[in-house]
Structure 1
Amino acid sequence: MRFVSKLLPASKMKLVISSIGVLALVLFTSMVVFESTKAEVIITNNGEEKKIKTHKNTVGEILDQEGIEVGDHDALSHNLDADIEDGMKIDYESAKRLTLEIDGNVHTYYSTAQTLKEFLEEQSLSFSKDDEVSLQDNDILKDGQEIKVKKAFEVTVNDGGEEKASKVTGGTVQNLLEKSEIELNDLDKISPSLDDVVTKDTVITITRVEKKKEKVVEEVAFDTETKEDSSLEKGKEKVVTEGEKGKVHKTFEVTLENGEEVDRKLLDEAIQEKKVNRVVAVGTKEPAQVVSETSTSSSSNNNASSDKTITMTASAFTASCNGCSGYTTTGINLKDNPNNKVIAVDPNVIPLGTKVWVEGYGEAIAGDTGGNINGNRIDVHVPDKSKAYSWGVRDVQVKILD
């Protein structure tokens, strides 16, 4: 400056200094005016906010300035040719490349969605609670994200005859049972096996097996024994002992499949009541053919009023036997009158209604017949079985009283 002042007179020096000052003021003013005319814009780039002052005219120009290249699938809040305005907010979100694989079928998407839930809503996709998805609804998506989905399919389980439907995405039979909360007991059967892989065509059958003990009382039939009896005429039979059934306690192991019995195994048996065999006497004696008639008076010791006496074979019967009605052929009720003296006869020998005297028995009436009472054979009525057994079979004299 001193050098300039030496070259220029003082008046000119003042003029130069004044011009420089004016120029500086103009430059400063121009800069102030330039800056004051810039528009202030806020750009949000993938979530990061930035304030910018610019003289750019369009949104596209300012994005170029910031090095942002808008792709076909990117999200931009304004058109690229929109005019810049002071205070404008520009939102930009770059699209992410997403791969969605459903049961092995792969699809590629470009999306600005932040979470899986937003992406599925954007693409109008939905999956059931039984489908297997590799991400949760609120998981944040990243560029290049892979999303894998296994769609659930229905499998029928026949559980002891009751059909149940379960939805799975695969796995083993064991996995399906656990998911469906189906428990197996130790004896239960299942097809296919627990470690078999489940497919859409799989049908699972469970056979519920139960074993239990069962106690029963069974009757044991009696046998019939025969023995020869020399006091009984040939062709004649007499029941000496009535047969009685026995009883036996049996314990079985019973196997049930789905409630139906499929097997029964005897574990133990014990006799409760012994059987009593039926004993029948078979006659071996030649039948007596002698018929004698003697004269007796009304004052005879045996009180007989007839002179006809017959030697006959006599057995005994009681009205209290099994299957007996208690009524005789002539209508006498022996059950109500157990002490009545009645004999069964062959009407061809002694007519029904005839009064008789029987040796060892007394006076009686011929009031009944019998299948085995033929010829010189009678059956005397006694009150009970013990007296019938005591009487046995014997030869007696029978006198006709009227």
Structure 2
Amino acid sequence: MKNIFTSKLLWMSAASVLTIAFISILLFHSTKTSVQVSADGEKGLVRTHADTVAELFEELNIEPEEHDELSHSLSDSVTYGMDIEHKEAKEIQVSDGDDVQNVYTTASTVGQLMTEEDIGVKDRDHVSPEPSESLENGMSISIDRAFQVTVKDGTNEEEVWTTASTVDELLKEQAISVEEEDRLNPETDAELDAAQRVTITRVEKTVKTTEEETDYPTVTKQDGDLAEGKEKVVSEGSTGIVEREYRITKVNGNIEDRVLIGETVKKESRDRVIAVGTKEPERKTAVAAATTTDEPSGATSTSSTDASSKARTLQMEATAYTADCAGCSGVTATGVDLNANPDKKVIAVDPNVIPLGSEVWVEGYGTAVAADTGGAINGNRIDLHVSDKGEAFNFGRKRVQVKILD
């Protein structure tokens, strides 16, 4: 009987202990405070016996850093229904031109950070990444400030805004193409700044073929049956046709150079032949002279002198050239330095038609010296020296009258 009583007593004691423990647990949990906690982008309900925010964070293993953002002070007391938020700060590198700095922020996007740091940008400036991009810890933000550069493209000049760092980047940004023959200054890899001037000289090279008439040469031959001083046309000349190929270089739309690179004769010209009389007049007998002249003593006839002093006149095809033309040295075939004498009146001739060293008069050009030759100067063709390349182009090709004075 005693054993049964003892056993019941032990069971009653154990039940009492368990009941007390259970009641204690119920009391412990029933006295917890419920709060909302947001951390690391997550939000949840937490029941806690912590008295302060600091104790709550310690329970949750949250260690706020210096630049983190807290909705409450760590010393604030925890109360029922409290909404506690912890935002962890991100370290961001911001490069604004040459100014580079590290900033700590709890902003969500690039744009929010720039507003937070009071970093102003204009529409022409370039921000990378975009202002709408989300921020990540360790991210780098680059701000390129726009500046004005002078761009002269051919004859068009304008000021453009750019964030490019090199000439090549500027050309791509402005969708400007530069062809192989064009001239670019400075080069594509040159660095840009606000004081820079970019010049594109547009160069166009074309080949043009033309058919041109060639003047016929005038050839004289002596005729013993024709009285001295008399001339007679033996045969009329006819013009020829030659196909000429020119390489033309235009710079910004204006002709800079025009070079003859090929020539094909399509039709030969025919010489104009003139007979020049050499027959001397019959001399009067002494008796006849004595009876028919009343001239005073010492008087002489000037008819033969006048005939011999007549200048030989030719119709020639004329062009113009300068001392610095393609393939020219500036020194004529007879040694005249045209570089040192840019205004010297000199013509290039075919020595078989006009002897070198002859003094000539050229219609529209004046008195000159036949002091030069040329590979394309054959027959009745001459080339007139002028000092300016533009004047040479404007002269073109003309038929002129040429008188050989000596």
Query: Please, what TM-score do these two structures have when normalized by structure 1?
Result: 0.53
Change (3 A) 1:285 1:229: farther
Aligned counterpart in structure 2 of residue 208 of structure 1, from 202, 205, 212? 202
Fraction of identical pairs, as percent: 29
C-alpha displacement of 1:169: 3.5
- In structure 2, distance between residues paired with 1:231 and 1:100: 105
Q: Is the 8 A contact 2:53 2:72 kept in 1?
A: yes
**Does residue 1:98 correspond to 2:89, yes or no?**
no
Corresponding residue for 2:153?
159
SS, match of residue 190 in structure 2 = coil
Aligned counterpart in structure 2 of residue 199 of structure 1, from 167, 192, 196? 192
Corresponding residue for 1:336?
none
Corresponding residue for 1:107?
101
Corresponding residue for 2:253?
259
Deviation by residue 1:87-112 (Cα, 9 ceiling, x = unmatched): 33221112122221223322221101
**Does residue 1:279 correspond to 2:270, yes or no?**
no
Map 1:331-350; keep pairs closer than 5 Å: none
Structure 1: gaps spanning 5 or more residues = 289-402
The one-letter code of the counterpart of 2:251 is E
Structure 2: gaps spanning 5 or more residues = 285-406
- In structure 1, distance between residues paired with 2:244 and 2:147: 51
- In structure 2, distance between residues paired with 1:225 and 1:264: 35
Aligned counterpart in structure 2 of residue 120 of structure 1, from 114, 124, 146? 114
Q: Is the 8 A contact 2:213 2:239 kept in 1?
A: no
Map 1:3-402; keep pairs closer than 5 Å: 21=16, 29=23, 32-63=26-57, 65-71=59-65, 73-80=67-74, 84-125=78-119, 126=121, 131=126, 133=128, 137-142=132-137, 144-163=138-157, 165=160, 167-171=162-166, 173-194=167-188, 196-200=189-193, 201-216=195-210, 217-220=212-215, 222-223=217-218, 225=220, 248-269=242-263, 270=265, 272=267, 274=269, 276-277=271-272, 279=274, 285=281
C-alpha displacement of 1:47: 1.8
The one-letter code of the counterpart of 2:89 is A
- In structure 1, distance between residues paired with 2:281 and 2:243: 44
Change (3 A) 1:287 1:183: farther
Change (3 A) 1:83 1:205: same
- In structure 2, distance between residues paired with 1:241 and 1:151: 82
RMSD over aligned Cα atoms? 4.5
SS, match of residue 43 in structure 2 = strand
- In structure 2, distance between residues paired with 1:99 and 1:168: 20
Q: Is the 8 A contact 1:44 1:90 kept in 2?
A: yes
- In structure 2, distance between residues paired with 1:132 and 1:54: 46
SS, match of residue 113 in structure 1 = coil
Deviation by residue 1:308-332 (Cα, 9 ceiling, x = unmatched): xxxxxxxxxxxxxxxxxxxxxxxxx
The one-letter code of the counterpart of 2:203 is V
- In structure 1, distance between residues paired with 2:272 and 2:127: 77
Q: Is the 8 A contact 1:160 1:206 kept in 2?
A: yes
C-alpha displacement of 1:40: 0.9
Change (3 A) 1:166 1:152: closer
SS, match of residue 257 in structure 2 = strand
C-alpha displacement of 1:76: 2.3
Deviation by residue 1:291-346 (Cα, 9 ceiling, x = unmatched): xxxxxxxxxxxxxxxxxxxxxxxxxxxxxxxxxxxxxxxxxxxxxxxxxxxxxxxx
The one-letter code of the counterpart of 1:274 is S
- In structure 1, distance between residues paired with 2:229 and 2:21: 163
Larger radius of gyration: 1
**Number of equivalent positions:** 275
Change (3 A) 1:247 1:25: closer
Q: Is the 8 A contact 2:89 2:106 kept in 1?
A: yes
Change (3 A) 1:285 1:241: farther
Change (3 A) 1:266 1:81: same
- In structure 1, distance between residues paired with 2:35 and 2:124: 46
- In structure 2, distance between residues paired with 1:46 and 1:241: 112
- In structure 2, distance between residues paired with 1:158 and 1:280: 64
Q: Is the 8 A contact 2:183 2:201 kept in 1?
A: yes
Query: Please, what TM-score do these two structures have when normalized by structure 2?
Result: 0.52
Corresponding residue for 2:399?
none
Change (3 A) 1:156 1:218: farther
